[in-house]
Amino acid sequence: MKVPTKVIAAFLLGAGIVGGVATAATTQPLGVKVCVDKKTQAIFLAGSSGCSTARTPLTLGAPTIDVKSIAALVTPSVVTIKVTSSLGSGTGSGSVYKSDSNVSYIITNNHVIENAVTTGTISVELLNGNSLVAQIVGRDSTYDLAVLKVNRGNLPTVTVGDSSKISVGDPVVAIGSPLGLASTVTSGIVSALNRPVTTGTSGAESFVNAIQTDAAINPGNSGGALLDSLGRIIGVNSAIATLSSGAVSGNIGVGFSIPINEAKRVIDELIATGKSTRPFLGVEFDTTFTGTGAKILRLTSGEAAEKAGISVGSIITSIGGLRIADTTAAVVRIRSYAPGSTVSIVVDLPNGTDKTFTVTLGSTPSR
């Protein structure tokens, strides 16, 4: 469900009303009470009697998160995804990202639907219980993202937020279908940012520069929405921590979400072309290195690192101002950028000195 960001910004600045549509208002200590039209998504200031049945109540700018309002606003945009194939069946979650009069596009995790890529079926269950056959538009296992299409238009869509604006401690809401229980809503906070997370099997890993949250996330939440205090999607829920390697675990207060700013680029490419790209530094790391940082074993001729003058044997210690602890952290951090981005990379050179390089990342097809 899309809420115009300019209108929200106007509410927080403060002014008046034009033609009955709220374009600005003074923020009160307990937030601004508004009503979101369920059909047009227009925002109106709430009257003394509250909102009509055709509008959803929402509080903007409140010091504490209004989970009830966010759930009412966003739950219709979050779906249950059911997969059946020769490899087995399972459920996951997704969010309606775009919708026109004929079709709707739904974002989810690649691992939710990958068993049905060659054989099997994928269905999407809406809040009202209707089930729709879904087709895979495109997928990217590197980022663990996928886009589905259903032949049903005018579905309510999520409002896209800005994951670069969130901070540790910010309140968040997770909506999805854990264990197949549709439209489950949980809340918590942002526990950490830029958390390097890998999922998948060796040689087919997904690398996520994750948002960590303590909002309850369980198996089946994968692909669902992580929302900020205004109900805007800031992350695609992707993974949970387990207490031991390979263990099947429920929520232990450590969940991970793909930041929407990182995901959006990939999602838009998949919708436009069915394929996606990733940034390319042009290095192979030394996986036997046990020190702090990521040691470069080889360079790809003519690619970004070599063009910038970085030498073999150098140890990357910082990328874009973020400390790099190991190889995984380096890969995750690079992949958080878009191809063509200019990035500051600090390395310890083989001669023992450190140097900062300005690197323009290349581009390569994602898998």
pLDDT at 37: 81
Give the mean model confidence (pLDDT) for residues 232-252.
79
Whole-model pTM: value is: 0.81
If we measure between CA atoms, which residue out of 308, 283, 288 comes closest to residue 298? 283
Domain 278-365 classification at class level: mainly beta
Report yes or no: 206 and 110 within 8 Å, Cβ to Cβ. Answer: yes
Reported as a pLDDT band with limits 50, 70 and 90, residue 42 is confident
Which DSSP state fits 77? G
Q: Which of 95, 111, 140, 228 is catalytic?
A: 111
pLDDT per residue as tens digits for the range 66-79: 899 999 999 999 99
pLDDT per residue as tens digits for the range 149-198: 999 999 999 999 999 999 999 999 999 999 999 999 999 999 999 999 98
Q: Which residue has the higher pLDDT, 186 or 11?
A: 186
The residue ranges of every structural domain in the chain are 5-63, 64-275, 278-365
CA–CA gap between residue 313 and residue 300 (Å, rounded): 14
Lowest model confidence (mean pLDDT) among 46-60, 133-147, 321-335: 46-60
Has 52 been annotated as catalytic? Answer: no
Give the mean model confidence (pLDDT) for residues 261-290.
97
- CA separation (Å) from 224 to 26, 79, 97, 165, 349? 33, 8, 11, 20, 43
Rg (the chain; Cα; Å): 22
Has 144 been annotated as catalytic? Answer: yes
pLDDT per residue as tens digits for the range 294-332: 999 999 999 999 999 999 999 999 999 999 999 999 999
Q: Which residue has the higher pLDDT, 348 or 11?
A: 348
What φ, ψ does residue 32 adopt, rounded to 5°? -100, 125
Q: Give the chain's mean pLDDT.
A: 87
Q: Which of 77, 93, 104, 144 is catalytic?
A: 144
Has 177 been annotated as catalytic? Answer: no
Is residue 14 predicted with pLDDT exceeding 80? Answer: no
Q: Which of 104, 141, 191, 222 is catalytic?
A: 222
∠ at Cα 228 (253, 57), nearest 5°? 120
Report yes or no: 314 and 296 within 8 Å, Cβ to Cβ. Answer: yes
pLDDT at 20: 32
∠ at Cα 161 (241, 91), nearest 5°? 45
Is residue 249 predicted with pLDDT exceeding 90? Answer: no
Lowest model confidence (mean pLDDT) among 213-227, 239-253, 325-339: 239-253
Is residue 213 predicted with pLDDT exceeding 90? Answer: yes
pLDDT at 49: 85
Domain 64-275 classification at class level: mainly beta
